[in-house]
Each structure stands twice: as structure tokens, then as C-alpha cells.
Amino acid sequence: MIGVYVLLIVVLVFLNVPISISIALSSLFYLIVQGIPLIVIPKQMFEIINSFPFIAFPMFMLVGLLMNAGGTSRRIFDFAESLVGHMRGGLGHVNVIASLIFSGMSGSAISDAGGLGAIEIEAMKERGYDTEFAVAITAASATIGPIVPPSVPVIIYAMAFGASIGELFLAGFIPGFLMAIALMIMVFFYSRKRDYPKMAFPPVKVIFKNFYRAFLALLTPVILLGGMFSGIFTPTEAAAVAVVWSLLLGFIAYRELKWRDIPRLFIEVVVRIGVVLFLLATVGSLTWILTRENVPRQLLGFIVSANISPPVFLLLANIILLLMGMVTTITPSIILLSPIFLPIIQQLGIDPVHFGIVVILNLMIGTLTPPVGPVLYVISTMGNMSFQKAFKATLPFILPLLIVLLIVTYFPDLVLLLPRIFMR
């Protein structure tokens, strides 16, 4: 019966039925055929979304939107430009550094792409960079957002896998910086090959001016992470603090956020979170059915009987996750795979915090690939470029991200260094 259930989900998804509706209809079919009371569905749907840490999810979404509307993006871009704009291919490096800084505020690749993307692409085009290069590095650098804390996908993963949000936040720092370095190396070689311009080193006065303008925005990750790791507030409470801080920046410090913007931003968050909540709720029934049919236990038995080692499993997991990231977005991927992967990593002794960074990095690379590619879609739209052409331009920049993925996968001590120092 489980085969028919899974096949029905696949067929519905193939017919372009939303994945949440596909799971819900298939679960309903399963319960009716098996003669199970239908009350199971609402019960499982409620249990999976009745989680206190999940409150942080919509609030971090709102932070990203408030930062974009309140003038933070432009200030971060100007400050990053004063730091690395003088290097060969300077605006490419600025693109990466700005994304790294902004990731410490929004925790979302879409927020990064939507906030900084338009500014970065326009600035690069004005200064003689190819549109393809501008779109490619903007899309690739946006994937840093969910790796460096705070991170919305980390919250989803922590809920699904029962991992520590605080440890996952700390674990993302080194991989995030590795991604930035790898992309900047790629920018350097591209820039030399195509003779992209570099600007004169800015006067110290300009650097301090841009730092001063961006100072309060730069304090955001310091306040959030300092508060969390000093025990002043939890990661969930940090999301509320971030919302208040974003409002203060937008209304009082920068005075670019208008009251008329608030209803639109709140509606956008409600729509986004409504979609995610319904998906999470339907996955509750999927998890219950998979558990009832002993699918996780059977897969675990296969792993044990086949004597698959942790390195081999991690290789297989990377392949599965990369393929999954191509056909669906990050949240459903994490939720769908959690009941399958969780017992396996427990059996093999793989640290869930390390595995979480591997999962999220894989799925972020998937946001740059067809057929779904949400980040690439947003960036290609901003660059007035077809999705296919944008993917062709971005493809070389996926290589350094894959190299970082291999490093993160097979050198877990690198990922776990900060969690071990501060939280274990």
C-alpha cells in the first residue's frame, strides 16, 4: 500500500498539483482505503505545527522585508563597496561581502536576493560588467544567507530533526565564510580573464562615512547572536527582538520605512507563512503514514545489512539532496526527508548539527538550478534575463559551492568547531 501512496503523491506533483495538496489528498486516500478514522489527519497536522520555536520563522521573514524596505540594503552595499570595491572585479567582491553581511540579519536567500539583488545588478551594469556575470554572482552569493545565522531553514531543520538551534547557528559561520571566500576566488579569476574594472582605493574618510551610515544595521547580528549566546533571550525570542530592531531602524534611524508599507509587508509574511504552515501540517500525516508502514525502520535495516559506512551514506545523501533541491524548495525537502534520514544518522553516529549544515547547503545549491530554482528565478527577473540564460551564466559559480560542500561534508570538525567551543 505504501508504494501506491507514494506513487499517487508523485503523479499528483507531476500533474503540477501543489505538493502540500498532493500529500493531503494521498493521505486521505490512504486512510479511506485502510479504514482508519479520518480524525488522524487533523490530529497529526496540529501536532507538527504546535511548536514554540516555529514562532521565529515568520518573524525572521518579516525582518528581511523590513530591512529591505527600511534602507538597510543600500547602506550595507555602500559599506561593502568601500571595503573591497578597489579589488579587481570589485563589485563582484562587493556582491559577496554584502550578502555575507546581510545574511546575519535576514536568514533567507530570497530576502537577500530581493533586497540586495536589484541594487547589485544595477550598480554592476552601470560600471561596465556583463549582465550575465552580475546575475550569476548575485544569485550565487544569495545562497550564503541561510547558512550564516540567523537562518530560517535552520529553524525548520531543528524542528524536524530535533537538533539545537543555537548549535546550528554557530555551525553555520565557518561554512558561510568558506562560501564567501570560494566565490571571491571565482570572481577574481573571472575578472582577470574579462578585464573587469577596479576602482581606486577610497579615502579613509569615505570608509568611515559608510561605516557610520551602516553601523546600526551592522549591529543587528551582534545584538541577535550576543543575546542568544549570552542567555539573555532564546533563538525564538531573538526573532522578536530582530523585528523590533528593524522597526526602529526603518522608522527612527533611517526614516525610510513608511507606515503605509507595514500592511503590505505583514500581508506578504502571512501569505508566505500560510503556505509553509499548510505544507508542514500535511507532512505531519505523511510522517505518520511512513512510520506506520515501517519505512524508516526498513531503510535503516537496509543500511545496517549493507554495512554502509558514514562517508558512503553522506555521499548518497548529497546526491539525493542535490536532486531534491532541483525539483522542490528547501522547506518541503527538509520536512519530507526528515523521517527517513533521522534514524539513519542516529544509527551511523552522524552528528545532527553537522548533517544539518550539509542538508541546507545542498538544498541552497538547488535554488540555483532548474526546474524550480527560486533564487535564480528572482535574480533573473531583476536582470531582465531568461531563466535558461541565467542558469547558463550561473553554472560556473556552482562549482566553488560544490567544493565547499565536499569540505563541509567530509571535515565535520570544521563545522562543529564553534558549537564545541561555546555550547558543548
Whose grid coordinates read 556582491? Answer: 95
Total-model pTM: 0.80
User: Does some domain include residue 308?
Assistant: yes
SS3 284: helix
pLDDT tens readout for residues 193-248: 888 777 778 888 888 998 988 898 888 888 887 887 777 887 778 888 888 988 99
pLDDT at position 398 over 90: yes
Q: How many CB atoms lie within 10 A of CB 289?
A: 25
Q: Hey, what's the cell of 60? A: 525572521
For residue 12, tell me if it sits in a domain. Answer: no
In a domain, 87, yes or no: yes
Q: Is the peptide bond before 153 cis (omega within 30 degrees of 0)?
A: no
Residue 29 lies in a domain: no
Predicted pLDDT of residue 105: 66
Task: Give the residue numbers spanning the domain of 177.
Answer: 39-423
Distance CA 269, CA 59 (A): 8
Spatial separation of the C-alpha atoms in residues 237 and 219, rounded to whole Å: 17
- The tally of domains found in the chain comes to 1
pLDDT, average across residues 144-173? 86
259 domain-assigned: yes
Q: Distance between CA atoms of 199 and 228, rounded to whole angstroms? A: 39
The answer to whether residue 99 is domain-embedded is yes
- Domain-located, residue 24: no
Residue 23 lies in a domain: no
Residue 296 sits at the vertex; the CA angle it makes with 294 and 301, to the nearest 5 degrees, is 90
d(CA 63, CA 261): 13
Lowest average pLDDT, out of 1-15, 195-209, 287-301, 407-421, goes to: 287-301
pLDDT of 129 over the 80 cut: yes
What pLDDT, on the 0 to 100 scale, is given for residue 406?
Answer: 96
Q: Give the tens place of pLDDT for each residue, 23-59.
A: 888 888 888 888 888 887 787 777 767 766 677 778 8
Q: What is the mean pLDDT of residues 152-175?
A: 88
- What is the structure's pLDDT at 110? 64
Asked if residue 376 has pLDDT above 90, the reply is: no
Question: Is pLDDT above 70 for 104?
Answer: no
- Taking only the tens place, the pLDDT of each residue in 241-259 is 888 988 998 899 888 888 8
